[in-house]
Chains A and B, each alone.
Chain A
Amino acid sequence: MTAGNGRRVGSPYAPHTDADEEAMLDAVGVDSAEDLFDIPGEVRFDGEFGVDSADEQELRNAMADLLSRNEELTEFLGRGHHAHYVPALVDDLSRRSEFLTSYTQYQPEIAQGFLQVLFEYQSMLVELTGLPVANCSMYDAATALAEAALLANRLRRGASGHRVLVPEHLHEGRLGVLENYLDGAEMEIGEYPMDDGAVDVETLADLVDDETVMVYAETPTVRGVIEERLADISDLAHDNDALFCIGSDLVALALLEEPASVGADVVVGEAGALGLGTAYGMGLGIFATREEYLRQVPGRLVGVSEDSADMRAFTLTLQTREQHIRKERATSNICTNQAWVALRTAMHMAWLGPDRLVDLATQAVTDARDLAARLDELSGVKAPLYDRHHFREFVVRTDQPAPAITNDLAGRGFAVHALDDHHLQVCITDANADAADGLVAAFEEVI
Chain B
Amino acid sequence: MNFDQARFSRDDEYEPLLSEKDSTTVEVDSEGVLPDDLTRDELTLPALSEPQLARHYTRLSQMNYSVELGPYPLGSCTMKYNPSFTEDVAADPNAGVHPDRSDRTIQGTLGLLHGLQEYLADIGGMDAVTLQPPAGAAGEFTGILVAKAYHESRGDDRSEIIIPSSAHGTNFASAAMAGYDVVELPSDDDGRVDMEALDAAVSEETAALMLTNPNTLGLFERDIVDIAELVHDAGGLLYYDGANLNALLGRARPGDMGFDIMHYNVHKTFATPHGGGGPGAGPVGVVEELAEFLPSPMVRETAAGYEQYEPESSIGKVHGFAGNWLVLVKAYAYIARLGDAGLADASAKAVLNANYLASQLDLDVPYGPFHHEFAATSGDRDAADVAKRMLDYGVHPPTTKWPELVSQAMLTEPTEVEDKASLDDLAHAFNAAYADSDEALETAPSKTSARRIDQVSAARNPRLSWRALGDDE
Q: Whole-angstrom distance between the alpha carbons of A126 and B45 in the complex?
A: 10
Closest Cβ of chain B to A403, distance in Å, is 10
Q: Whole-angstrom distance between the alpha carbons of A348 and B473 in the complex?
A: 28
Using A16-B420, A358-B26 as known contacts, say yes or no to A110 and B396 having CB atoms under 8 A apart. yes
Contact with A along B1-21 (1 / 0, CB 8 A): 000010001001111011100
Beta-carbon contact of A100 and B62 below 8 Å = no
Q: Which residue of chain B has the shortest Cβ distance to A410 in the bound complex?
A: B105
**Residue A189 CB within 8 A of the other chain:** no
Contact among A15, A109, A126, A325 for B448, CB-based, below 8 A? A109
Closest Cβ of chain B to A230, distance in Å, is 9
Using A15-B419, A36-B369, A49-B122 as known contacts, say yes or no to A95 and B98 having CB atoms under 8 A apart. no
Beta-carbon contact of A105 and B277 below 8 Å = yes
Contact among A59, A105, A143 for B134, CB-based, below 8 A? A143
Q: For chain A residues 102-146, which have a beta carbon within 8 Å of chain B?
A: 102-114, 116-120, 122-128, 132-134, 136-137, 139-143
6 interchain pairs, CB-CB under 8 A: A56-B337, A100-B66, A102-B65, A280-B109, A281-B325, A311-B14
Using A108-B453, A180-B316 as known contacts, say yes or no to A10 and B346 having CB atoms under 8 A apart. yes
Q: For chain A residues 30-78, which have a beta carbon within 8 Å of chain B?
A: 30, 33-34, 36-40, 42-45, 48-54, 56, 59-60, 62-64, 66-73, 75, 77
Beta-carbon contact of B111 and A69 below 8 Å = yes
Q: Whole-angstrom distance between the alpha carbons of A235 and B368 in the complex?
A: 62
Closest Cβ of chain A to B93, distance in Å, is 9
- Which residues does chain B contribute within 8 Å of A149, judged by CB atoms? none
Contact with A along B393-429 (1 / 0, CB 8 A): 0001101001000000000000011111101000000
**Residue B345 CB within 8 A of the other chain:** yes
Q: Which residue of chain B has the shortest Cβ distance to A96 in the bound complex?
A: B61
**Residue A307 CB within 8 A of the other chain:** yes
Using A258-B40, A353-B47 as known contacts, say yes or no to A328 and B450 having CB atoms under 8 A apart. no
- Which residues does chain B contribute within 8 Å of A124, judged by CB atoms? 45-46
Using A43-B256, A185-B179, A328-B173 as known contacts, say yes or no to A354 and B47 having CB atoms under 8 A apart. yes
Count how many chain A residues have C-beta atoms less than 8 Å from C-beta atoms of the other chain. 190
Q: Whole-angstrom distance between the alpha carbons of A280 and B91 in the complex?
A: 12
Beta-carbon contact of A109 and B99 below 8 Å = no
Q: For chain A residues 357-377, which have a beta carbon within 8 Å of chain B?
A: 357-358, 362, 365-366
Count how many chain B residues have C-beta atoms less than 8 Å from C-beta atoms of the other chain. 201
Q: Which residue of chain B has the shortest Cβ distance to A366 in the bound complex?
A: B33
Contact among A14, A23, A325, A339 for B349, CB-based, below 8 A? A14
- Which residues does chain A contribute within 8 Å of B321, judged by CB atoms? 81, 140, 173, 280-283
Beta-carbon contact of A139 and B319 below 8 Å = yes
- Which residues does chain A contribute within 8 Å of B179, judged by CB atoms? 183-186
**Residue A433 CB within 8 A of the other chain:** no
- Which residues does chain B contribute within 8 Å of A123, judged by CB atoms? 17, 19, 465-467
Contact among B89, B98, B353 for A63, CB-based, below 8 A? B89
- Which residues does chain B contribute within 8 Å of A28, judged by CB atoms? 352, 355-356, 359
Q: Whole-angstrom distance between the alpha carbons of A8 and B313 in the complex?
A: 47
Using A10-B342, A113-B64, A176-B316 as known contacts, say yes or no to A280 and B98 having CB atoms under 8 A apart. yes
Using A139-B134, A256-B39, A305-B455 as known contacts, say yes or no to A103 and B345 having CB atoms under 8 A apart. no
- Which residues does chain B contribute within 8 Å of A44, judged by CB atoms? 251-252
Beta-carbon contact of A347 and B57 below 8 Å = yes
Closest Cβ of chain A to B372, distance in Å, is 10
Q: For chain A residues 295-338, which have a beta carbon within 8 Å of chain B?
A: 300-315, 317-320, 322-330, 332-338
- Which residues does chain A contribute within 8 Å of B344, judged by CB atoms? 10
Q: Which residue of chain B has the shortest Cβ distance to A130 in the bound complex?
A: B40
Q: Whole-angstrom distance between the alpha carbons of A330 and B175 in the complex?
A: 11
Q: Whole-angstrom distance between the alpha carbons of A110 and B138 in the complex?
A: 28
Q: Whole-angstrom distance between the alpha carbons of A102 and B387 in the complex?
A: 17
Q: Whole-angstrom distance between the alpha carbons of A281 and B9 in the complex?
A: 39
- Which residues does chain A contribute within 8 Å of B265, judged by CB atoms? 336
- Which residues does chain A contribute within 8 Å of B97, judged by CB atoms? 70, 75, 278, 280
Q: Whole-angstrom distance between the alpha carbons of A127 and B265 in the complex?
A: 35
Beta-carbon contact of A341 and B279 below 8 Å = yes
Q: 19 other contacts beyond A70-B97, A320-B459, A335-B135, with CB at 8 A cut-off?
A: A39-B248, A40-B225, A43-B225, A45-B251, A53-B339, A98-B69, A103-B67, A103-B77, A110-B449, A117-B60, A143-B138, A177-B319, A256-B39, A283-B321, A303-B464, A332-B177, A333-B138, A353-B24, A353-B46
